[in-house]
Structure 1
């Protein structure tokens, strides 16, 4: 049976004691408060030339929690965060928890349709967003939702550098009918929120994931999930208060939420934020802040390698590097190590596993599958059991390919208000990942394919039907089918095949531009091919397999 035995690995690479939740860390706020008590004057957040200590973060999030309560927010309510990588994300998230609420992470690249769908699904009553996002997107949406309170903020706050490469063109925006976050924090400064009881099984945040057979689903990541995997990062990566966390992953993403925010709140390591990823700014930041740890998509490290200011000395401090969310070519790991002297460790998990379920232990090199050339995604982290099963749910021996089924303290309780989808994906509490792979005789796991048609572009998961639905809005489109095709930078990219209505015309460039206007930047198709007819079965079902084969033959 392909159940990983951790004992040999724990002897070779001891990650510390098993991550049972310590009594004082029964929830995320208790975890954070313990760090504040240990290190009140240490930096919690660094944002360009700005600094926020743990004591200051505690006071700011207290004020935010009080402000929420004063505006009718109650325990169990949802508040959505529609922000980039700015300090306000962390302040608001902690404040939401202190008020007993659930934080809902929103991709800042989402457009009106996507934002409306998410807000309506989670029933958020509060929206915290950047001023520019309110002006361009959210202001057109909130009237169609349950949102009662909108709090706006600017990415220019908490710093004075205003680096034009990432903050160029940003100006303060007047957002009529909203509350200014800075004003709220000043108004309620010095006040502490009423105590609330947060149980380990209470939902800490909702993170949205798209499947292939339905609309986005809100994974219910509990306080137990968050605390457990914060400790996984601490113990398997060896993070401590002397480390500096480089925030390259989006904070709305499960990697940023756990590998950046939660890891910092637990360990006392400062989290360095840069608004958004710019390779040159990132390299300068590593040099200036002496960053030691980061985790992000492999596309981040490819971008850093190709930056004009990249050199071994600039990245000398960055000794703990992890990458997940997309397949990693072994050649890229070798090239990065040759250029900078640091090994990129693989890490694997899903939104539903609250970030990692597998990791390459720090100091170990992942083996490469000799048959496929795939790099191992690591070994299961402690307290985690991963089975490889066939289509009937029977366990398969090492070397046999099947679906990965994961059980452990990091696996979510289910999907928000979706009991049927929860039962299908989590029968008995074990997560059917939908990823296909195998375990070798030494306990290393490899991914070889995905059961679902979901596209993985640089770590961003894309639901083909969502792209197809947008294309169908174009008056010339008769049929549309979307598949993932290989891409040297993103791993996969989106390609659409369309047929046109009789008597109409449209170019591939026109259709790409049409979708680009209506979708997040990572979702719209980079390639469109127009066919007279799309391949179908005798029952009329589109044959994606044939389209993938066609794309492979033409790439």
Structure 2
């Protein structure tokens, strides 16, 4: 940790953001306990018309904790949570921590193979899931170490009459009705909350050593790895978030569109809200019109998101009909934020939208632009308090001078303990406390950092290094483009060639010729896309990150099929 030592970027810090922070050495769940004690009646959650106070969230979390302990969960045991953004997701998360357990966040969209792998790898004893996911969970139970399943339903936190209507909506939407029956290994959420037992065994937690979370990476390079994040990692990144957003006079209202099963939403929405006493608005899935309506009615002030979320809202045909002026702070992550998107989104809200940077292995945020200062165009900002960062030569592993390109390495109290049961892979990325991110970038003379691209995404065409982000930024300037991703695909002559996958804005009819002319005026010839594919939508992760690798893999399969057919 670079506590207090002067760095180039510290000269850019405004007076109200500290260079160093005094971190609480206490478990993450203590913040919920304190909020419930000091402000018991303050609203903590809003979900489709239903509100819960901090006291209610804490009491219900304790009931879940007590029940988990009655099932045999002890300190260090893993409990999987497979839920969208619902009150149960927040209550389960803090319930597991209160029980002394380690949370294993599990994507509700996982197929059985993915779920089976994650449960086996983490060694989770218990899983908490929605009723519609129970068949999937049941199918993997026999091949994993799962001993118990706790099942909940969306309707349990819906106000009347929505709670009566929802089962019919669910049946129509998913064509699935799950009959819930309590058994020795299947437990019903609503029955647990009816119990009076809130007595829990309190374990001594060493925040810097004891894990709070196993957060699995996306697995773009082989099998997903469980990132080991301690209580201290998560508390530190939460306190950094609070310092970065600055002093806020009233109770903030935070829009929870980002999924909590992803570390970005978990830190910047859920943990931030609990730590500051903000109210969370929970949205179980991203539907642009629902988000616009929610902003107008519920008046959120903080809206963490991803570029694809802001792009979808900007391109909604009714966007100008909604009052979005309550939003004053947005930090975008998970993918590069095009300048055009930032400027347009700031015009329709009352707030500032800035780009940040981080990764699962750092809880996740390490860098951001300042909210109260103009964003430095194309930059992901400067390192957060107590966070050190360097650009390292990719061959010599020595630090390079400002302006030179290399691999970004970071160091700070938010950096993971390592990968779960993967010592060799941990040693590959953690060296003397430095986390080697796999991202290519540079730092300017003022200490602002720029991400050029993922090391694995860099295109080498005809001996030239081409960074997809640079080409994407150019194409985003073209008025008719809604979304674009650039990738390198195999080419027998150049090694790789540049391909653009493009989604047009509604009402636009794009063609290769006009985009080629546009790019050639702005890019060196070797960087200009040689191939364009126009698509209705781009494949994305749950948090809105475009799956570049999936597009490339599909193209490779098409080429292989075509080659075999021509033989």
Give TM-score scaled by structure 1 length: 0.79
Distance 1:71 1:345, change over 3 A: same
- What residue number does 1:143 align with? 142
Equivalent of 1:423 in 407, 412, 427: 427
Contact 1:166 1:276 in 2 (8 A): no
Aligned ranges 1:165-180 → 2 under 5 Å: 169=173, 173-176=178-181, 177=183, 178-180=186-188
Distance in 2 (CA, whole Å) between partners of 1:305 and 1:295 is 15
**Structure 1 position 130, deviation (Å):** 0.8
Matched, 1:47 2:52: no
Matched, 1:432 2:411: no
Matched, 1:7 2:10: yes
- What residue number does 2:194 align with? 186
3-state SS in 2 of match to 1:233? helix
Q: Which runs of 5+ in 1 are unaligned?
A: 369-374, 458-463, 465-481, 491-514, 536-555
Equivalent of 1:21 in 12, 20, 23: 23
**Structure 1 position 132, deviation (Å):** 0.6
Distance in 2 (CA, whole Å) between partners of 1:379 and 1:312 is 36
Contact 1:377 1:444 in 2 (8 A): yes
Distance 1:303 1:210, change over 3 A: closer
Equivalent of 2:269 in 260, 266, 271: 260
3-state SS in 2 of match to 1:65? helix
- What residue number does 1:100 align with? 100
- What residue number does 2:518 align with? none
Aligned ranges 1:324-473 → 2 under 5 Å: 324-368=333-377, 375-391=378-394, 392-453=396-457
Distance 1:303 1:271, change over 3 A: same
**Structure 1 position 14, deviation (Å):** 2.2
Distance in 1 (CA, whole Å) between partners of 2:103 and 2:497 is 32
Contact 1:220 1:414 in 2 (8 A): yes
Distance in 1 (CA, whole Å) between partners of 2:244 and 2:501 is 31
**Structure 1 position 210, deviation (Å):** 3.9
**Structure 1 position 174, deviation (Å):** 1.7
Contact 2:128 2:149 in 1 (8 A): yes
- What residue number does 1:460 align with? none
Mean Cα displacement is larger for which, 271-280 or 312-321?
312-321
Contact 1:345 1:366 in 2 (8 A): yes
- What residue number does 1:500 align with? none
Distance in 2 (CA, whole Å) between partners of 1:320 and 1:285 is 16
Q: Deviations over 1:289-335 (max 9, x none)?
A: 11000111111111111224323752110111110100111111122
Contact 2:66 2:197 in 1 (8 A): no
Contact 1:239 1:267 in 2 (8 A): no
**Structure 1 position 154, deviation (Å):** 1.0
Aligned ranges 1:229-378 → 2 under 5 Å: 229-238=237-246, 240=248, 242-311=251-320, 314-368=323-377, 375-378=378-381
Distance 1:532 1:283, change over 3 A: closer
Contact 1:20 1:228 in 2 (8 A): no
Contact 2:324 2:348 in 1 (8 A): no
Contact 1:212 1:453 in 2 (8 A): no
**Structure 1 position 231, deviation (Å):** 1.0
3-state SS in 2 of match to 1:141? helix
Distance in 1 (CA, whole Å) between partners of 2:306 and 2:331 is 9
**Structure 1 position 35, deviation (Å):** 2.0
Contact 2:381 2:448 in 1 (8 A): yes
Distance 1:6 1:282, change over 3 A: same
RMSD: 3.2
Distance in 2 (CA, whole Å) between partners of 1:239 and 1:431 is 30
Distance in 2 (CA, whole Å) between partners of 1:437 and 1:360 is 16
Contact 1:298 1:323 in 2 (8 A): yes
3-state SS in 2 of match to 1:207? strand
Distance in 2 (CA, whole Å) between partners of 1:416 and 1:250 is 22
Matched, 1:206 2:214: yes
3-state SS in 2 of match to 1:144? coil
- What residue number does 1:115 align with? 115
Give TM-score scaled by structure 2 length: 0.77
Mean Cα displacement is larger for which, 293-302 or 160-169?
160-169
3-state SS in 2 of match to 1:530? helix
Contact 1:299 1:489 in 2 (8 A): no
Distance in 2 (CA, whole Å) between partners of 1:489 and 1:273 is 29
Aligned length: 474
**Structure 1 position 106, deviation (Å):** 0.7
Contact 1:233 1:259 in 2 (8 A): yes
Distance in 2 (CA, whole Å) between partners of 1:203 and 1:420 is 20
Q: Deviations over 1:472-504 (max 9, x none)?
A: xxxxxxxxxx999644569xxxxxxxxxxxxxx
Distance in 2 (CA, whole Å) between partners of 1:144 and 1:533 is 35
- What residue number does 2:559 align with? 531
Distance in 2 (CA, whole Å) between partners of 1:307 and 1:525 is 26
- What residue number does 1:512 align with? none
Distance in 1 (CA, whole Å) between partners of 2:206 and 2:169 is 39
- What residue number does 1:196 align with? 203
- What residue number does 2:226 align with? 218
Q: Deviations over 1:223-276 (max 9, x none)?
A: 001111111111101365611010010110011110011101100001110111
Distance 1:534 1:342, change over 3 A: farther
Distance 1:317 1:410, change over 3 A: same
- What residue number does 1:154 align with? 153
